[in-house]
């Protein structure tokens, strides 16, 4: 009998950088005994002694030295540390040391993905990053493989679970933004400093990754226009409901026929009957549109240790299964110029100390900039010294509307600045 016929294939040796919520979930899967082709051999974490658990096999090396991991004989490094420094240096070092990398770090891939993918390709290695976007939803793999035969031209997504949770709570309970944020922090959906989520940076990083993978248009995350959800008030949900809509943070990127790339993250009105309008809690939804296949949507849990861990381990198994030195990632060669000036219908809410002639002044400014009004809404039972009313506008460039509102905002009847939100169908 040929002894090699029954010889077991070599198990891929895996190191884990980071042993937080997701890291522990990943380790549990790797240590479950259900994955015979991969073996967890190293765990790195700062102050690693306080992280030790008895369910990790004794054969695993615990270390506070990233350099020890990079110098070891592991095949795949899983990076779950987050941040850019020194994570970027460690991931780059892993590739230079001949190790493929799996990461859930959206900021790392948004800022340095092109460089890391180029380096991996030049060395016959892989960088996998499915968990960096939409947690447990396999969006990137579907774009790379399942929709590879189509030419995708647009993506829209609810990509940030914190904003989805806050806005859905404001909608369902008619509570103030600050109360919804405090509730999200207590429930563990929002960080102590939630700025990256609320102001759009988190979703922008994910949008940059999807643009590179799905639209095949690498863009710099710093070029993506973002607007915060902080100015949204309960009254906006009342008016949105009158229009058959609700409000969600929408990340949107598209490639026009001219080749121009548009990308932006901002709160927007979406129909209650749409998939975006039905998203609740911390769920994520991504919809892509292709030239040949039309629209395809991906929906599910966008955050949490277990869904994200499943995406990470799936990437590990994909890398381990290849083992042929032919990476599947397409490396980007250039960044595309980006505009955030979408043309869309708009919702504009004014809050004023009421007096005659206000609407006339506003419509005059709109007319000056060629903006057409579709309708005016004013709900009853609000105080005259703090009166909210809404104008809905026909399609116009966001930049033109901004100029008109900057002129309108100079009047002394405003209690607070006007709020403009695009309206997406």
d(CA 211, CA 264): 11
Contact 158, 248 (CB under 8 A): yes
CA–CA–CA angle 161, 166, 170 (5° rounding): 145
Contact 404, 385 (CB under 8 A): no
d(CA 213, CA 334): 13
Q: Which of 51, 99, 106, 206 is catalytic?
A: 206
Kind plus residue range of the DSSP H or E element containing 165? helix 161-173
Q: How many CB atoms lie within 10 A of CB 235?
A: 17
Q: Which of 164, 63, 120, 86 is nearest to 327 (CA)?
A: 120
Angle between helices 201-210 and 106-122 (to 10 degrees): 30
d(CA 262, CA 277): 23
Q: Count Cβ atoms within 10 A of the Cβ of residue 58 and give its class: 0-12 exposed, 13-18 middle, 19 or more buried.
A: exposed
Decide if 99 is catalytic.
no
65-82 per-residue burial string, b: 16 or more CB within 10 A, e: under 16: ebeebbebebbbbbbbbe
Contact 26, 80 (CB under 8 A): yes
How does DSSP assign 264-330, residue by residue?
Answer: EEEEEEEETTSHHHH--TTEEEEEEEETTTEEEEEEEE--SHHHHHHHHHHHHHHHHHH-SS---PP
> In this structure, what is the dihedral angle of CA atoms 69, 70, 75, 78, given to the nearest 10 degrees?
70
Q: Which of 244, 208, 240 is nearest to 226 (CA)?
A: 208
CA 28 remoteness from chain centre: 26
**Residues that are catalytic:** 206
């Amino acid at each position: 009998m040929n002894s090699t016929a029954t010889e077991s294939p070599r198990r891929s040796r895996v190191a884990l950088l980071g042993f937080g919520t997701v890291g522990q979930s990943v380790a549990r899967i790797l240590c479950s005994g259900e994955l015979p082709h991969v073996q967890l051999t190293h765990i790195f974490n700062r102050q690693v002694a306080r992280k030790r658990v008895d369910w990790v096999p004794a054969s695993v090396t615990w270390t506070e030295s990233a350099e020890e991991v990079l110098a070891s004989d592991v095949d795949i490094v899983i990076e779950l540390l987050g941040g850019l420094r020194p994570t970027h240096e460690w991931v780059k070092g892993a590739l230079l040391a001949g190790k493929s990398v799996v990461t859930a770090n959206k900021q790392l891939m948004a800022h340095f993905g092109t460089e890391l993918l180029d380096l991996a390709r030049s060395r016959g290695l892989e960088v996998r990053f499915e968990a960096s976007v939409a947690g447990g939803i396999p969006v990137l793999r579907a774009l790379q493989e399942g929709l590879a035969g189509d030419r995708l031209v647009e993506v829209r997504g609810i990509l940030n679970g914190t904003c989805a949770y806050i806005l859905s709570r404001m909608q369902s309970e008619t509570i103030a933004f600050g109360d919804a944020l405090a509730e999200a922090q207590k429930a563990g959906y929002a960080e102590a400093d939630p700025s990256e989520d609320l102001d759009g940076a988190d979703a922008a990083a994910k949008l940059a990754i999807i643009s590179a993978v799905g639209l095949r248009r690498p863009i710099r995350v710093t070029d993506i226009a973002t607007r915060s959800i902080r100015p949204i008030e309960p009254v906006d949900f009342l008016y949105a409901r009158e229009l058959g809509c609700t409000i969600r943070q929408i990340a949107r990127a598209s490639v026009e026929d001219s080749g121009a790339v548009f990308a932006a993250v901002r709160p927007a009105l979406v129909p209650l009957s749409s998939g975006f309008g039905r998203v609740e809690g911390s769920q994520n939804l991504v919809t892509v549109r292709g030239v040949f296949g039309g629209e395809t949507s991906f929906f599910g849990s966008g955050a949490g240790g277990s869904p994200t861990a499943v995406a990470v381990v799936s990437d590990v198994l994909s890398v381990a299964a290849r083992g042929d030195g032919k990476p599947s990632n397409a490396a980007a060669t250039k960044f595309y110029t980006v505009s955030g000036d979408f043309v869309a219908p708009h919702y504009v809410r004014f809050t004023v100390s009421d007096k005659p002639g206000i609407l006339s002044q506003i419509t005059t400014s709109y007319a000056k900039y060629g903006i057409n009004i579709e309708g005016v809404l004013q709900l009853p039972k609000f105080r005259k010294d703090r009166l909210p009313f809404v104008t809905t506008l026909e399609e116009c460039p966001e930049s033109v509307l901004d100029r008109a509102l900057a002129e309108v905002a100079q009047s002394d009847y405003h209690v607070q600045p006007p709020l403009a939100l695009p309206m997406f169908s």
